[in-house]
Amino acid sequence: MTSTRVIGIDPGLRITGYGIVDCENKKTTYITSGVIKTTSEKLPYPERLKIIFDEVSEIVSKHQPNQMCIEKTFVNMNANSSLALGQARGVAMAAGIQHQLQIYEYTALQIKKSVVGNGHAEKIQVQSMVQKLLNLPEVLGPDSSDALACVLCHNQVMQINQDNSPINFKGGRIL
């Protein structure tokens, strides 16, 4: 496996986390991470989506990843929240597609299971493991950490799946 630069996205309408890591076999090298904030309630909804699209596009242009991995949307009790999350996720994916990135999707359960060993891990556990696995000097915020955890999960899946055969998941576990 040659070195692949991967951008991970933790989508959100108010805060979208991103993280970029170079992956070469089991070696991972942290490049950058951060958040895209659209927290102003005064902005019209479409403008907030445009900010996410534009900023993801700018980050991709600047850092030139080959692949994007993104957390899948889960449906919760609040349908409006789920729809907003899905739309934020969609514009982030569209930005990746515009730059010809390969897109990979993982559930929160898969990501947590891969990084922490427990699909129901708390956010602070994910943050701590991301710090340790990427040798970061400090614990990052939850949105950046979740995006980087998505990349670490993706790299693990790619290690297992070097022949590009389909991978099946059950309960967050790779079968």
Catalytic residues: 10, 71, 143
Q: Is 22 annotated as a binding residue?
A: no
Which segments of the chain does DSSP mark as H helices, in order? 45-63, 79-98, 108-115, 123-133, 142-160
Report the alpha-carbon distance of residue 136 to residue 108 in Å, rounded: 22
CB 112 within 8 A of CB 118: yes
**For residue 40, what is the DSSP state?**
-
User: How many angstroms separate the CA atoms of 81 and 135, rounded?
Assistant: 34
Is 71 annotated as ligand-binding? Answer: yes
Binding region for Mg(2+): 10, 71, 143
Annotated binding residues, as ranges?
10, 71, 143
